[in-house]
Amino acid sequence: MVRQYELIEQVRKYNPKADVGLLNRAYVYSMKAHGDQRRASGEAYLIHPLAVAEILADMRLDEASLAAGLLHDTLEDTLASYDELLKLFGKEVADLCEGVTKLSKISFEDKSVEQAENFRKLLLAMSQDIRVLLIKLADRLHNMRTIEAKKPESQKKTAKETMEIYAPLADRIGLHALKAELEDRAFKVLEPEEHANLSAKMEEWRTQDNLVGRVVGVLKDEFKKAGIKAEVNGREKAFYSIYSKMVRKSLAFDQLTDIVAYRVMVDSKRDCYEVLGLLHDRFKAIPGRFKDYISAPKPNGYQSLHTSVVGPFGNRMEVQIRTGEMHDVAENGVAAHWLYKPAKGGEAEQSKASPYRWLRGMLEQMQGVDDPKEFYENAKMELFSDNVYAFTPKGDLIALPRGATVLDFAFAVHSNVGMRTVSAKINGAVVPLRRQVDNGDMVEIVTSSNQTPNPGWREIVVSNRAKSAINRYLRTQERDEQVRLGREILDKASRRDGWHWDVKQVAHVAPKLPVQNIKDADDVFAALGQGRLFPRQIFDVLYPQDKTLPLDETIDIKAPKNKKKKGEESQNLSGDEAVGLEGIMGGMAVHFAKCCSPLPGEDVVGIISTGRGISVHMKTCKNLEQFADQPDRWLPVKWSKTALEGEARAFVCRLRFHLANDPGALASVASTVANLDANIVEIFTEHRGVDSTTVRCEIEIRTKDHLNRLITNLTALKQVLRVEKIYAWN
């Protein structure tokens, strides 16, 4: 365990002007705050924040980050408060501690909407100050180094989360060494047998004829003869990297030829290319294995030349060539770029030259994405995918996620170019829009002012930029169709019932309607088209003097003829029993309000309407608010025994289904509905997305319990994401 004075000495080596007083105060405060707390291993808790600070010092971070590392668990695990940290250590350190605490509360246990929203919060925290993520990664690294003290189930949960979330994030921001260690430690927990087997094979391989040392010696001699000053070493690849390649390419350990990566460090870019030329001159280059990340850096700033050659002893070997500065970025990623300077008020600010503005740019691109799941999938694609690099006809370099198509390329050039794309050429040859782009391709996009995106494009593109632009356009088109349909519905209703309306009137009453997010006439029409609003609700507000309830089912109660079921005596049902309600005089017209679709088993109330009989609502119906000052119109009613037993009649209930776009999803829903003795009266597709479809149904239900059983059975289907009853106000 590092001691505080050793930590101070380490910081002073790379930052002689560091605020040592701040670090000492943070150490003392953390020690007092954590007191007698112990870790799962039984060690004093203070060991953990000290270890986190040491990892941050290895990244050569500023003293504010190290102070936050020492304090990062105080807000969550002690009586410390944000205001106290603000007073003692300043806003910068307090904000970093608060950011890390928020990240610690994020759970990634499932793939639900909640997880997607958590991921959005993670990215937002990163974009505000990337040091929050650096501290969290250091925290996770030390936890993985000491994971043996946890229970087996907890180990696997932490390791899985590390592999799926934190290791890819570390890689994306350039912390390759940290990423490799996280993966290896998670690999050991998740696949202990595979890890043990690979470890044994690697140990045996190391004892063989000192191949690495001999290759390094030959390379040094070659560079010395050519007068090139270079540092050469051979480094074994990480266990998980080796294992992944074996699985991905179905290779046995003995078939691997690049267990070691040879690295050549030189003084300048010019020397990098000179070394490359020498290697290709002395040894046979392996085709297709050269990558130039110096002229085309990765988005996280990584630069290096990669080549593979047949080495001096007939061995295939991978060589990475870079300068010392490039190596610093390769090892420490974002931390190597995190330059600070005093800002107004004495706090530090990120250098504007930082190459990590891509994170803010990515969030800006996804501002129009309202669906958390869509945001999550798009962000994962942007963060966790490798890149390919292609050129425009003018020679501009475009970076794309691996697997990107020429349509993705068009949107990467400019959103307007993507929207108008009709065809494309790769290296002069015409290709379909779904053709994938390879490294080094020259892509030419052909556009037309008459072209617009279509829903099929969503199946072609993989990049967040393209998906977001296409979805925004299609949502606009869907809304236009909903507005058109809503106007049609209102027109038909007004002609049928003898009402008059115009757009100005509708816009004027829009904010008064019982539906959320209704601001103007188009919002009203769209809500009508979506089924969230009914014409009668609009006319009730337009003409309050003739106020009636929303359009609903009307049943005239008349004494029914006695019907005899086979094998039974004839039933003498009164009118109220026939309709399923008690407390209503025969001959009255009864309306079951569509705004809340009451079912037997739900508490109900009747509202007397002049000339229209009685409208029956759930007692929780929001439309009852308009009758709060008219108690004389309220009629106590209750469901009859016949209705509660499901024998009176079927009641139409409006449900909304959110279905995964899997084959047979709708058929499974229909089959389940039929098996539960319910009946689909009408079905309407509200929205179809890339991964899911929203469907509105009118279904005949007998009781509240019947509905609950139906929803339980439907949500048990893997294709059904969610089922909800529709009310006029949702």
Q: Which residues are catalytic?
A: 76-77
What distance in Å separates the CA atoms of residue 204 and residue 550, rounded to the nearest whole number? 80
- Residue matched to tokens 């029956």: 616
What distance in Å separates the CA atoms of residue 291 and residue 273, rounded to the nearest whole number? 12
CB proximity list for 465: less than 8 A, separation 6 or greater: 365, 408, 411, 412, 415
Question: How far from each other are the two terminal CA atoms of the chain, in whole angstroms?
Answer: 57
Q: Kindly provide the b/e burial profile for residues 655-682, where b requires at least 16 CB atoms within 10 angstroms of the residue's own CB.
A: bbbbbeeeeebbebbeebbeebebeeee
What distance in Å separates the CA atoms of residue 9 and residue 15, rounded to the nearest whole number? 10
Helix (H, G, I), strand (E, B) or coil at 171: helix
What distance in Å separates the CA atoms of residue 346 and residue 90, rounded to the nearest whole number? 10
What distance in Å separates the CA atoms of residue 365 and residue 418, rounded to the nearest whole number? 15
- The beta-strand segments (E) located in 125-259 are 231-236
What distance in Å separates the CA atoms of residue 25 and residue 20, rounded to the nearest whole number? 9
What distance in Å separates the CA atoms of residue 253 and residue 386, rounded to the nearest whole number? 25
What distance in Å separates the CA atoms of residue 269 and residue 165, rounded to the nearest whole number? 34
Question: Is residue 254 classed exposed, middle or buried when 0-12, 13-18 and 19+ CB atoms within 10 A define those classes?
Answer: exposed
- The beta-strand segments (E) located in 217-361 are 231-236, 260-266, 284-285, 291-292, 305-310, 316-323, 340-342, 348-350
DSSP letters, 654-713, are: EEEEEEES-TTHHHHHHHHHHHTT-EEEEEEEEEE-SSEEEEEEEEEE--HHHHHHHHHH
Residue 534 token pair:
């009914």
Residue 438 token pair:
């390879």
What distance in Å separates the CA atoms of residue 215 and residue 283, rounded to the nearest whole number? 12
Degrees to nearest 5, angle at CA 561 with 557 and 564: 130
DSSP letters, 388-409, are: EEEE-TT--EEEEETT-BHHHH
Amino acid at 360: R
What distance in Å separates the CA atoms of residue 382 and residue 463, rounded to the nearest whole number? 7
Helix (H, G, I), strand (E, B) or coil at 44: strand
Q: How many Cβ atoms from other residues are within 10 Å of residue 486's Cβ?
A: 25
